[in-house]
Structure 1
Amino acid sequence: MKKLIYLLTFLKSLFLFSQITAKIVAIKDGDTVVALLDNKAQETLRLADVDCPENRQPFGKNAKQFTSSQVFGKNVTFYRVGKDRYRRTIAKIFYDNEKYLSAEIIKAGFGWWYYKASKNFKLKDVEILAKKKKLGLWSDKNAIAPWDFRKMKKTAKQNLAK
């Protein structure tokens, strides 16, 4: 039984951390894309390390456009690093000579370093620099992090239901 558990754990790690090449065929929002795999299957990828404004938030459409300008229609390399609560694949996506998409989004000021789930502390410095330069969403001194925006929307819905 222990051998089976070790084998399953090993196979899962191969699945999660293997390098995959795919073409980006859709952009759902700033931090979620759809990849077309070699077998013609599509896979929704939620970007690791970053959280972009929701489409309904200020700069949400800008974040989506930025992501589109970087990877739409391009072949990328990605690594699966997990699944989120919606069962989307969390992925680290690289393109154009190893640019890391999440870092590029944060650097341009269209996303927050997602410190709640990320151990990539270099991205904190990237965010601080974008903030100092007032890039993208940082030009708005009242910018609201997407996790706070979602919480506010949830609270408002609950209050309406009462």
Structure 2
Amino acid sequence: MHRITLALLLLSSPALSATLECRVIGVADGDTLTCLTADKRQERIRLRGIDAPERKQSFGERSRQNLSNLAYGKTATIHWTKRDHWKRIIGSVWVDPADCPGCGHTLDAGRAQLANGMAWWYERYAKEQPQEERHAYEFEQAEARARSVGLWRDPQPIPPWDWRRGKR
């Protein structure tokens, strides 16, 4: 019994993480993509720490296209600690930046979505992010908002969590 309890504690520990290497083969929206692993398994990935506009929402398609420009067709490194109730991996997605294709996986796609004003920092789940990532994401959102880029051009952008609840 003690071994099972210890195993469950270790599995739920945010300090433990896994890394996945895969090729991005699909982009569903501004915060969800599909990867193909080396052993030909498809994995759905939900970018940790952001929430992008829904596809039918204002800026939804632009957000999806931006993530596609950042990641589609590229090899990615996913750092993750959990799956959601839809079995998607929740993690950070790292790819080669477009302006430096040989630099390695140095671009955090979630952070780039925030910097381009294509997503909100998902404060509700901030405690699930490493502290450094949490601060970087908060900063990127504040900067995008101050520069009025992307969805921040709208004087009253509707966060996707409100839009999903019918506050359209």
* Shared fold per TM-score greater than 0.5: yes
Q: Comparing 64-73 with 115-124, which one deviates more in the overlay?
A: 115-124
Whole-Å separation in 1 of the counterparts to 2:165 and 2:53: 13
Contact 1:48-1:118 within 8 A present in 2 as well? no
Structure showing greater radius of gyration is 1
Q: Larger deviation: 120-129 or 20-29?
A: 120-129
CA distance in 1, matches of 2:144, 2:121: 11
Q: Is the 8 A contact 2:18 2:81 kept in 1?
A: no
Matched residue type, 1:67:
L
1:101 aligns with 2:115: no
Residue in 2 that maps onto 1:159: none
Unmatched runs of 5 consecutive residues or more in structure 2: 97-104, 128-133
- Please state how far the C-alpha of 1:11 moved relative to its aligned partner: 5.9
**Compared CA separation, residues 39 and 129, structure 1 to 2 (3 A):** same
In 1, distance between residues paired with 2:23 and 2:121?
Answer: 25
How do 1:37-116 residues align onto structure 2 when only pairs under 5 Å count? 37-96=37-96, 97-116=105-124
Shift of 1:127: 0.5
5+ long unaligned stretches in structure 1: 157-162
Q: Taking every aligned residue pair, what percent have the same amino acid on both sides?
A: 30
The CA deviation string for residues 107-156 of structure 1, in whole angstroms up to 9 with x for no partner, is 00000000001231331121011011111111111210000100116xx9
Paired with 1:12 and 1:151, the residues of 2 have a C-alpha distance of: 29
Task: Compute the TM-score of the two structures, normalised by the length of structure 1.
Answer: 0.86
Q: Structure 1 residues 12, 42: closer, same or farther in 2, change over 3 A?
A: farther
Cα distance in 2, alignment partners of residues 37 and 91 from structure 1 = 15
- Please, what TM-score do these two structures have when normalized by structure 2? 0.83
Are 1:141 and 2:137 an aligned pair?
no
Q: How many residues matched?
A: 153
- The CA RMSD over aligned residues, in Å, is 2.0
Deviations along 1:46-67, one digit per CA (max 9) or x if unpaired, are 1100000000001000000000
Partner of 1:152: helix, strand, or coil? coil
Q: Aligned partners of 1:131, 1:12: CA distance in 2, in Å?
A: 34
Instruction: Output the CA distance in 2 between the equivalents of 1:70 and 1:140.
Output: 23
Q: Is the 8 A contact 2:114 2:140 kept in 1?
A: yes
In structure 2, how many angstroms separate the alpha carbons of the residues matched to 1:11 and 1:37?
Answer: 22
**CA deviation after TM superposition for structure 1 residue 98, in Å:** 1.6
- Deviation, 1:12, is 6.8
